[in-house]
Each structure stands twice: as structure tokens, then as C-alpha cells.
Chain A
């Protein structure tokens, strides 16, 4: 078994543990490379199915191609696709692109708060109807008690401290200093009422592992990750006003793997194209403590 297979088998084990232990389980799908690999691993774990909803937080500022790709795969793979948004903030134009707030506040409104409201069902949820091929209000108004997330430990400092099963309190907050222990393959699957658990099956994967796995499984990815002839590509995807592509000649998966393996990008942080990180004192910590992925 090579290490990629080992990572895969461990992630499948974690996904199955999550499914066996949480009644109201959901998986966050940002449409980025990591959570798409996660989605693929779920299809592996559940023999071609994804037996829980996939939740996407739509900031309304995502690069349009991402939304097209999301709905295309959702229809093709028969996914139970749900999206949520912070309608209030969007309607009152409390966003960075509208010039009303700074980047961090925008993130916390359109992502963190939208996520919180979608998870506990206090905000709107829209579910894809596979017959009409359009979204309609979701009738399920139960809070999700287990949320599967594609965070990786090597992305930046605060993520490296996560557990595979990480509890969040009623306010979605993360108490980094007081996390329950996790031994061997025994995880925190018992939780007090009102709290929920974030599940991180990709914690031990690196950016290179992700691309190697995309290659070995031929997982479809959004074309924004590749150089389309402009000499640039996106390394990490987010909202269009706050995400910049990097300089790169990589046209396809093989070239990205080569680029990463040869250390061409080793001096540049993976999320360096994400403007909100820089505003948060060089890390995502403040955002993450409040529930940001």
C-alpha cells in the first residue's frame, strides 16, 4: 500500500465513522480541490453514493464558473445538494465589494455567519430538485450535528491544531486549548445536546497529495486551477474580489504536480492569493475561532 492509498483508506474510515455516529450529518463542499477530493472519498466510502447532503455556502461573489461546476456535478452524480447564504447581509449590501465593510467583516458575514445559520437552520437553505434542475427552499429544518469539512493541516498554522473530530459549541466556537483527546482510531463521536462536531478526514493530506489523488482517480476539477494561456492559475479558490491567481505555467494536473513536487511554490504560502488572510494578522485564527472553515 503506498502512502496515497494509506491516506485514502484512513479518510474512508473516518467518513464511515462519521456516518455511523451522526444522525444529522452534512458535508461542506466549497467546490475547491480539497472538498471535491473529500466528496470523491465519500463516494468511495459509500460505494458510489453520498448518503448525506452537501452544503455549499454561496457568498454570491464566487467566481461564476465555480457555481456552474457545482451544479453540473450535483446533477450528474445525483447529489443531495443544499446551499445557504446570508440574505440579510447581501440585501443590505453589507459586503466588501459594495464598499460597506472591510474584507474580514465581509468574510465573517457572508461565510462564517451564513455557515452558522445554514448549519443550525436558522437561515434559509435551498435544495436542488433533480427533476426541475433548480433550487427550492429545503423542507429539512433540523440542525446538522456532524459537519464534514475538507480542512488540511498543512494549509496554515491554526488548521494544524485540529483534531479529526473536533467539537464546536452552541455558538460554533472552537476552544483550541481544551480539545478532547483522540487516540488511535477512536474519535469524539459523543457530544452534548446543542453542540456539533466538525469532522476532518483530510487533515493529514498535503496540497501535493491532493493533486496526486486527483490524478490517480481522474477526479474532475474546475478549470480555474489551470493556466489557460495567460500564464496564471488559481491555487486556492474563493470569492472573485479577494482571490488572486498565481504566476504559473501549469496547464494540467501533471504540470501542477510537477510544479509542487519540484518546490517551485515552496516559498509561497498556499493561501497567499487570499486577501482576507493577510488582514487577519497573518493567519485565519480569528475567523476560524468563530466557525470559519
Chain B
């Protein structure tokens, strides 16, 4: 094995205010360490000659014509560079305020940062802003370069003044630099070699500083987390394996381990790890490994859920979370806008319920309870997800504790989750979770039943005003499906009210009672559906909140909602609506067609 095999690789971002000389520093570093391919240096020199402008080291990086014209780095360019110790990818982040999103993109892939400050101009707006962003992205190793020392006559006092000012800023935001180095990108002092102009400086060069950065070792011993990336079944390619795919975020898991998937609470054991061209059969996976495994049972889970081990603490589940957010989007964050919330492999519509405080990342000025978050601002706020989801708290789990928000197709902000907050369904969800956890499974699973009965279990929820013909449609639908040979059952809410609900007061007295009636109706539905039935339930005037309770208890994918009646008197989001006068025949036909489309029953040819 070649020695290169053992060399580590490290991503470093170089940031700072516009024109403070980041690209020049890197260009110089590459040239002085002879890390450039011949073609590159020549091409850039020739280009300069052709355009009659003096050669600059920065042009090596700003290889794009656009940038050479404007003299600023537009995007984060990657530069590959190696020392005896290891290989580096230096990400050159643009200093211009317009391109802060590019700087953040560059920095989010880095483990360490070099921050460049111009000795002439001193600490500027983006020197601070970039410092803030770097610390927010979780980069803890920072080295500050005071550049253009040649232009201040190599004056130690200038260096010390900048060092003092910037140290104070960094400590205010709760971080600090490993060291400060006075450099000159154009003259080369303190870049790859000490140079002759600063006798007063006894510290290390930039090149030495790079090798001083420490590789952050992955912390092991954390509970297992794997965001479900996909469920693969390549039947059409002649493969019958059903595999759960994902990359392990923390911890490890082995064949035979029992997993729980959140937020659904479904559980099963790992049967085997699958792979392609692996030297040995895999029996265990750990942190950062991309894996795929089969389960003991065919449980229905989805992309976006988080797998944890049954014997270890699981992630949080809620639809409300307190977060820290930085915003880079074109339009400001407002409570009335809808966003997509992405965390791990999860993607879910979300709103910002409350903006608690906004911080200016450069001046550090704080504003309490605001109505909007403007571009390049940092804020603390509460996010409300459309559905409950699983996630972690960032201080406990880095990967599953950070998120981004998508606005108008583009990632426009993100950062960390600080806290899970209770939502209106927390209590019901906890009951469902416990029920799933304690559920005694039989040898016959839902797919066996589906195969035997030639149907998938499903809930048809019929609601509407009083005397609109809900039950007529329900009973006719039941009869029609029954006559087609389906296993189907009609259940009116009244059938539950006087038996299952005998211990609680009649509905209408207060909200909690009605809520409990709905919860029990949903639990009974869940039981009946577990037998493989197609269940038709009627209930009067269901509201959206009540439908959400039902969807918390019963798999939401397996529900069709019908509103019967001309007037829709609640806020429910139904799938279909039928007018009063419409014949039950027609309603049944539409529902049956829908069930066929959804693959619940098969179309008879």
C-alpha cells in the first residue's frame, strides 16, 4: 500500500472582507510551494499579457473571466493542495456581501477556517459577519491572517491593534482564534516561509499553521441514528430484496439489533446488510457509512424517518421546534410564508410561527420579537411543521439537529434545532407511540393479509352535516364492496359512543371529551384495519383538527375523506365532496374508482 493511502484530507475555508486579499494569499501559497500545474500559471500569465494588465496571484483562483473582470471571487472555488502531512481542499469564499450565501456554502463543508483581515482597512463589516457565520456553522478552529503588512510598513503596532479588536469580537460571540499571523500575499512574507521584513514576528507561517489544525475525530459512543434515505425494491431488475437505505449519522448497529423508526414508532430487527463488491459479509455498520439493510418484517416506513435502536434513547418527535436560523433568502422570512423544512432526509412544509429575536451578524445588535427576518440576519424563532417529524437537538446530535429552509425552490437559510416544543397532538402521539411499541405482533403480517384478501386495508371516512345522507352512502358502499367479494365493514361513530365510550360523557359538553371520542374512534379503526379490512366510518361535522387526530392514530396514507352535503361547515381538508342531492350510486362509483387508483382493490376487467 502506498504511503499516500494514509494521508488525511482536510477542508479549510478562507474567508474575509472583499479585497482583503484571500485569493492572493492562496495563489501565493500554491506558487511558493510549487503546487501549480504548469498549464495554469502559464495560461493566466498569457491572459494577463494579452489583456495588458499586471499578473496577480489572485488570478490563479479567479480562473473565470467574469471574475477577472470584476476583480472579486463570485463563488467558492476549491483548491487542491498538499503538504507532507496531509492533503487540503482550500475553499476560497467570496468576501463580497452579495455572495454571503456562497461563503456559507464554502464554509459549511470546512473543518477549519482562515480569516483574512486587511492591515490597511482593518476589521470591516464582513470580517465580523464571516467570523460569526464560521462560528455558527460549527467551525471551532480559526486562524486569523492580517494581510498586506507591506502596505503598513510591516508595523507591529498595526498588527497588534487589529489582533486586539478582532479577539474582542470573537470572544463576544463565544469563540476565539488559535493564532494571528501577519502576512503579505504579494511579497510572500509568512506565507510559505518567514520572509525578511518582520523580525518582530516569531510565530508560525501560514503553511505551518495549516498543518497545526487538528482533524476533528468523530465522537463515538453516541446512540445510533440513521435518517432513512430510501426504501429500495428493484423488482423490475429481478431483485426481490426490500432494503432500507441511508447513511449512519452516529453510533453503530449490527445484524439482529431491533430498530425503531421515528416518528411512526414502527419497529423491526436488522436481518442483513446488503452491499455491492464488498470484500466480506457485513454484520455491522457505524458512523458515516452509507448502508442498506433488510428487516425481519415488511413494515411500512418512509424516507425522512429516523432509525434508532430500541435499547438506546430515540430522537424527539414534534411539529413545533425552537431553532436558531440564519437567513440568506431574497425575500425576508415572514410568518405568512410557507417554506420547506429539510432535516436529514426529511422534507416537510413549515411556517415560522414566531420570531423571538433577530441579531445583526456584523454589529451584534439584538432586536426582540420581530415581524420579519431580513437577508443575512440571524434569528431565534419557532417553526411549525405541517406534520410531526423526528429530529434531534443540535447540542446532542450535530447531523440530525440541523436543518435548512427552502423558499421558492432554493435553500435560503438554516442552522440548528435547540428545543422540541409541545404541539396539540403530543399527548395522542405519545399514546400511539407506546401502543406501537407494546404491540404484540402475530405471525401473520399486513402483507400476508393483503395477499390473502386481495385488498389493502383502508379507511374511508365519511363526514358532513346532519341528515345529508352520509350513512346511506356508507352502507351502500359497504354492500357494493361486499358483493364484489371484499372484506369490508361499516362503523358509525354512534356504534362506539355507547359502548367503547360509555365511561366518558357525551360529546359536546367540552372539547376534551369530543377529542377523546375521536381518539377512541381512531383507535378502534386502527384495530379493525389491522385485521386487513376496508373500513367505512361515518361521523358528523369532522374538523381539520379532528382529522389530524385520526391521522396521528391511523396511517395517513391509508385514509380517504369524503364530505357529504352542499355546505361545508367545518375547516376540514377533504379528498372529495358530494352534494346533497347526488345519488349514492354515483358517490360509490367515484370512491371505488379512487380505491382502484390507489391500489387498495384491483380493477376487474
Which residues of B sit under 8 angstroms from A160, Cβ to Cβ?
Answer: 63, 77-79
A205 to chain B minimum Cβ distance, whole angstroms, is: 10
Most buried by B among A8, A45, A185, A261: A185
Contact indicator B39/A176 (Cβ below 8 Å): no
Q: Decide if A182 is an interface residue (CB 8 Å cutoff).
A: yes
Query: When the two chains form their complex, are residues A47 and B288 in contact, meaning their CB atoms are under 8 A apart?
Result: no
A161/B75 contact (C-beta < 8 A), A9-B289, A208-B4, A269-B37 known: yes
- Inter-chain contact A190/B340, CB cutoff 8 Å: yes
> Is A129 on the interface with B (CB-CB < 8 A)?
no
Report how far A81 CA is from B276 CA in the complex, Å. 20
Q: B39 contacts which of A13, A20, A43, A272 (Cβ < 8 Å)?
A: A272
28 pairs from A and B in contact (CB 8 Å cutoff): A13-B229, A16-B230, A16-B245, A44-B277, A45-B245, A47-B276, A47-B292, A153-B78, A157-B40, A160-B78, A176-B64, A176-B66, A177-B74, A181-B104, A183-B105, A186-B414, A188-B409, A189-B347, A190-B409, A192-B409, A206-B80, A257-B2, A261-B2, A261-B4, A268-B39, A269-B38, A269-B40, A270-B37
- The size of the chain A interface, using a CB distance under 8 A, is 64
Which residue from A44, A51, A270, A272 sits with its C-beta under 8 Å from B237?
A51
A3-B9, A157-B63 known; A16 vs B229 contact (CB < 8 Å): yes
Q: A208: nearest residue on chain B (CB-CB)?
A: B4
B279 to chain A, nearest CB (A): 10
Interface residues of B (CB under 8 A from A): 2, 4-9, 35, 37-40, 43-44, 46-47, 63-66, 74-80, 87, 89, 99, 101-102, 104-105, 108-109, 137, 229-230, 232, 234, 237, 239, 241, 243, 245, 247, 274-277, 288-290, 292, 303, 328, 340, 342, 345, 347, 399, 402, 404, 406, 409-412, 414
CB A276 to nearest CB in B, in angstroms, measures: 14
Residues of A248-293 contacting chain B, CB below 8 A: 257-258, 261, 266-270, 272, 281-283, 285
A12 to B291, CA, bound (A): 9
8 tightest Cβ-Cβ pairs between the two chains A and B: A157-B63, A269-B39, A282-B43, A267-B38, A181-B101, A12-B290, A180-B410, A161-B75
Give every chain B residue within 8 A of A177 (Cβ-Cβ): 66, 74-75, 99
On A, residues with C-beta under 8 Å from B are 1-4, 6, 8-9, 12-13, 16-17, 19-20, 43-49, 51, 78, 153-154, 156-158, 160-161, 163, 176-177, 179-186, 188-192, 203-204, 206, 208, 212, 217, 257-258, 261, 266-270, 272, 281-283, 285
Cα-based distance from A180 to B412 in the complex (angstroms): 8
Interchain CA distance A185-B400 in the complex, whole Å:
11
A78-B237, A181-B328 known; A48-B64 Cβ under 8 A: no
> In the docked arrangement, what's the CA distance between A188 and B410, Å?
6
CB nearest to A184 among chain B residues: B108
In the complex, the chain B residue whose C-beta lies closest to that of A156 is: B63
Q: Which A residue sits closest to B229, measured CB to CB?
A: A16
**Chain B minimum-CB-distance residue to A16:** B229
Name 16 extra pairs, CB < 8 A, besides A185-B399, A206-B80, A212-B4: A1-B288, A8-B290, A9-B289, A16-B245, A20-B303, A44-B276, A49-B234, A51-B237, A157-B77, A161-B76, A176-B64, A182-B105, A182-B411, A183-B105, A204-B78, A269-B39
CB distance from A164 to the nearest CB of B (A): 9
Please give me the residue from chain A that is nearest to B243 by CB atom.
A47
**CA A78 to CA B236, docked complex, whole Å:** 12
B213 to chain A, nearest CB (A): 15
Chain B min CB distance to A234 (Å): 17
| Chain B: minimal CB distance from A197 (Å) | 10
Q: Which A residues are CB-close (under 8 A) to B38?
A: 267-269
| Contact yes or no, A190 B275, CB < 8 A | no
Q: Which residues of B lie under 8 Å from residue A192 when comparing CB positions?
A: 409
The prevalent SS among residues of A at the interface is: loop
**Contact A268/B37 with A261-B2, A285-B65 known, Cβ cut-off 8 Å:** yes
Partner of B37 from the list A3, A17, A217, A267 (CB cut-off 8 Å) is A267
Residues of A close to B288: CB separation below 8 A: 1, 6, 9
A176-B75, A181-B102, A181-B105 in contact; A158/B64 too (CB < 8 A)? yes
A186/B342 contact (C-beta < 8 A), A267-B37, A281-B47, A281-B65 known: yes
In the complex, the chain A residue whose C-beta lies closest to that of B75 is A161
Residues of B with C-beta under 8 A to A44: 275-277
Nearest-CB distance from B548 to chain A (Å)? 25
Chain B, Cβ-Cβ closest to A182 = B105
Q: Which residues of A contact B104 (CB under 8 A)?
A: 181, 183
Cα(A203)–Cα(B411), bound, Å: 20
With A204-B89, A266-B37, A283-B63 as contacts: A20 and B230 at CB distance below 8 Å: yes
* Contact across chains for B78 and A16 when beta carbons are under 8 A apart: no
Q: How far is the CB of B55 from chain A (nearest CB, A)?
A: 14
Closest residue of chain B to A215 (Cβ to Cβ) is: B2
Q: How far is the CA of A274 from the CA of B5 in the complex (A)?
A: 30
> In the complex, A6 Cα to B5 Cα: how many Å?
12
Report chain A residues within 8 Å CB of B342: 186
Docked-complex contact A47 and B411, CB < 8 angstroms: no
CA distance A177 to B40 in the complex (A): 22
Chain A residues whose C-beta falls within 8 Å of the C-beta of B328 in the assembled complex: 181
B77 touches A46 (CB 8 A): no
Residues of A within 8 A of B44 (CB): 282
Residues of chain A within 8 A (CB-CB) of B77 are: 157, 160-161
Residues in A with CB closer than 8 Å to B40 are 157, 269
Taking a contact as CB atoms under 8 Å apart, the answer to whether B229 and A47 are in contact is no
Docked CA distance A96–B77 (Å):
33
Which of A49, A158, A163, A270 lies in contact with B105, CB distance below 8 A? A163
